[in-house]
Amino acid sequence: MMNYGKVFLNSVGVTIASVSGLILFASMASYQIVRRQCRLSTIIYYSILASMAIPFQVLMVPSVIVAKSLHIVNTTYGLVIMYWGFMLPMAIFLYQGFIKSVPRELEEAAMIDGCGQIYAFFKIVFPMLMPITSTIAIINVLGVFNDFLLPLIMLSSDDVKTIPLSLSIFFSNYTAEWNLIMAALALSIIPGLVFFLLMQKKIIGGLAEGAIKG
pLDDT tier, 172 (very low <50, low <70, confident <90, very high otherwise): low
In this prediction, residue 17 carries a pLDDT of 95
| CA 158 – CA 74 distance, rounded (Å) | 10
Q: Are 155 and 79 in contact (CB under 8 A)?
A: yes
The domain covering 4-213 belongs, at the CATH homologous superfamily level, to MetI-like (1.10.3720.10)
pLDDT digits over 112-135, tens only?
877 788 888 888 889 888 888 888
% of the chain residues with pLDDT over 70:
89
Domain-by-domain residue ranges, the chain?
4-213
Q: Which of 158, 150, 153 is nearest to 4 (CA)?
A: 158
- 198 pLDDT more than 50: yes
In this prediction, residue 209 carries a pLDDT of 53
In this prediction, residue 131 carries a pLDDT of 82
